Homo-oligomer: A and B are copies of this chain.
Amino acid sequence: MTQTRSSRRVPRGEKRRDEIAAVAERVFLERGYSETTMQHIADYAGASKETLYRHFGCKGTLFSEVMRRRSSEVMSGEEDGALCGSPPEVLFSLALNLLHLLTRADSLRLYRVVVAETPREPELGRIFYGQGPGRILTRLTDYLDETGKKGELNVPNPSLAARLFIGSVTTFHQIQGLAMQATFPDAELQIHAREAVALFLARYGA
């Protein structure tokens, strides 16, 4: 009857490390870097501070590792297959996926933390950009380039066109999510996506 804690087998080694990292990710995303204490993470994970420090050395390292990994998975799941299909279909589906992705609460939280902590941790910003916006930009640029060469679109400057499209899709919902904690009904996202595609095709359609 010495079962003080919640009768749970506590794993060792890498498994424990991963559990703690997962908890730390959640807490950092919810409260930001400086509002998160190591004790808080330890409590949530049912761990002791000593274990945190044995695995990660210090708070900054834990934060970096965890946010870095998360930044590398911004797009996980969504939008992984290569862009293919007719331009209207591809663009609409990309637009809708983007809107869904970046109005999700945890995406906004990640963006918030990255923006806030990049001055203290410049590499974090670069990783996030490369894995998130940068990757999408590259893929869309490639798609526009190829499609242009096939004559299905008329896009003199694919990279510029891609930036304009992605911007037109995402900006306002993101700003409103960040600054006003706004949420959006799916119908509105669909209308927005549809019109963004129409705008794009009005100039770059073949």
Chain B, residue nearest A194 (CB):
B160
What 1/0 mask marks residues of chain A from 183 to 206 whose CB sits below 8 Å from any chain B CB? Answer: 000000001100110111011000
Instruction: Verify B196–A129 contact, CB threshold 8 A.
Output: no
Assess whether A85 is interfacial by the CB under 8 Å rule: no
The distance in angstroms between the C-alpha atoms of A86 and B15, with both chains bound, is: 64
Q: Select the stretch in A39-47, A59-67, A172-180 that faces chain B.
A: A172-180
Complex Cα–Cα for A162 and B32 (A) = 33
- Assess whether A171 is interfacial by the CB under 8 Å rule: yes
Whether A112 pairs with B116 at a CB distance below 8 angstroms is yes
Judge if A94 is at the interface, Cβ distance under 8 Å.
no
A167/B171 in contact, CB under 8 A: yes
CA A137 to CA B119, docked complex, whole Å: 29
Q: Which secondary structure dominates where chain A touches chain B?
A: helix
Bound complex: CA of A125 vs CA of B166, how far in Å? 24
Interface presence of A151 (CB below 8 A)? no
Q: Is the CB of A169 closer than 8 A to any CB of chain B?
A: yes
Whether A164 lies near B199 (C-beta < 8 A) is yes
Q: Are B168 and A164 in contact (CB under 8 A)?
A: yes
A97 within 8 A of B: no
Query: A153: shortest Cβ distance to chain B, in Å?
Result: 13
A59 to B67 alpha-carbon distance, docked (Å): 29
Q: Which A131-185 residues sit within 8 Å CB-CB of chain B?
A: 133, 137, 157, 160-161, 163-172, 175-176, 178-181
Of A160, A161, A164, most buried by chain B (CB within 10 Å of CB) is: A164
Are A119 and B112 interface neighbours, CB within 8 A?
A: yes
Q: Is the CB of B203 within 8 A of A116?
A: no
B157 touches A195 (CB 8 A): yes
Other than A112-B118, A164-B168, A198-B203, give 16 A-B pairs with Cβ distance below 8 A.
Answer: A32-B116, A112-B115, A112-B119, A115-B178, A115-B179, A125-B179, A126-B180, A157-B195, A163-B171, A166-B172, A171-B171, A199-B199, A199-B200, A199-B202, A199-B203, A203-B203
